[in-house]
């Protein structure tokens, strides 16, 4: 019997790579947070399929185009593979805050698209993020939100003292928690 794949969903900016108020507009600006690529490798080695779920409003703002985003993601994938990890899929929202789309987090459209593509329930699937909107998107579909303190994470904690989600120093700690069986 083959086990169905287990998934871990991960926000990109502020979780995998250093966030920037100026947006990540080129592969050179994609700088991994220490330990994050190793975290993906750890998950891969424990048979988790890693899926990235990311808002990229820089597209709507005209700061970069989809070809550039693909180049950025090619770098993210190759740096991850150098560490022995694999990114199974990347779902991104290309819209801006005023576009009223259904996929910009906190809306759950990207998560729903992922669930539909894989024909799986999102219930209990870990989604690791650094912003409140990541947690909200996860909760909207019954996924399991995990907060990391990297990126906007510390600010998210400070602004939302009543949060009851598990909190981790960084992606590596969250990955270790997941592979330990939660
Ligand atoms: Mg983020
Ligand atoms: Zn969108």
Q: Which residues are registered as beta bridge partners of 147? A: 129, 167
Give the SS3 label for residue 50.
strand
| pLDDT of amino acid 122 | 97
For 139, counting Cβ atoms within 10 Å of its Cβ (0-12 exposed, 13-18 middle, 19+ buried), the class is middle
The rounded Å distance from CA 53 to ligand 2 centre is 11
No. of H helices and E strands in the chain?
A: 6, 6
DSSP 56: -
Annotated catalytic residue, options 11, 130, 134, 173: 11
Q: Which residues are registered as beta bridge partners of 108? A: none
The rounded Å distance from CA 152 to ligand 1 centre is 7
pTM of the model as a whole: 0.96
| pLDDT of amino acid 51 | 98
| pLDDT of amino acid 2 | 61
Rounded mean pLDDT, 45-52: 98
Query: Are 158 and 169 a contacting pair, CB within 8 Å?
Result: no
Query: Are 134 and 12 a contacting pair, CB within 8 Å?
Result: no
- The 10s digit of each residue's pLDDT in 96-147 is 999 999 999 999 999 999 999 999 999 999 999 999 999 999 999 999 999 9
Cα 144 to Cα 43, 94, 138, distances in angstroms: 16, 24, 6
For the chain, give the longest Cα–Cα distance.
48
* Ligand that lies nearest to the alpha carbon of residue 171, given by its number in the listed order: 1
* Ligand that lies nearest to the alpha carbon of residue 132, given by its number in the listed order: 1
The rounded Å distance from CA 115 to ligand 1 centre is 21
pLDDT of 182 > 60? The answer is: no
Percent of the chain scored above 70 by pLDDT?
97
- Is-catalytic flag, 11? yes
- Is-catalytic flag, 19? no
- The 10s digit of each residue's pLDDT in 73-90 is 999 999 999 999 999 999
């Amino acid at each position: 019997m083959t086990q169905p794949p287990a998934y871990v969903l991960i926000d990109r900016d502020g979780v995998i790579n250093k966030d920037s108020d100026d947006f990540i507009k080129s592969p050179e600006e994609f700088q991994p947070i220490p330990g994050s690529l190793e975290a993906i490798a750890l998950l891969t080695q424990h048979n988790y399929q890693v899926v990235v779920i990311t808002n990229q409003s820089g597209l709507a703002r005209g700061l970069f185009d989809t070809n550039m985003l693909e180049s950025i993601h090619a770098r993210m994938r190759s740096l991850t593979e150098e560490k022995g990890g694999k990114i199974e899929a990347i779902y991104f929202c290309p819209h801006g805050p005023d576009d009223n789309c259904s996929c910009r987090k906190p809306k759950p459209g990207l998560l729903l698209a992922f669930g539909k593509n894989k024909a799986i329930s999102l219930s209990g699937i870990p989604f690791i993020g650094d912003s409140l909107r990541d947690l909200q998107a996860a909760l909207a579909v019954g996924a399991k939100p995990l907060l990391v303190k990297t990126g906007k994470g510390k600010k998210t904690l400070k602004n939302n003292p009543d949060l009851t989600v598990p909190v981790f120093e960084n992606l590596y700690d969250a990955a270790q928690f997941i592979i330990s069986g939660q």
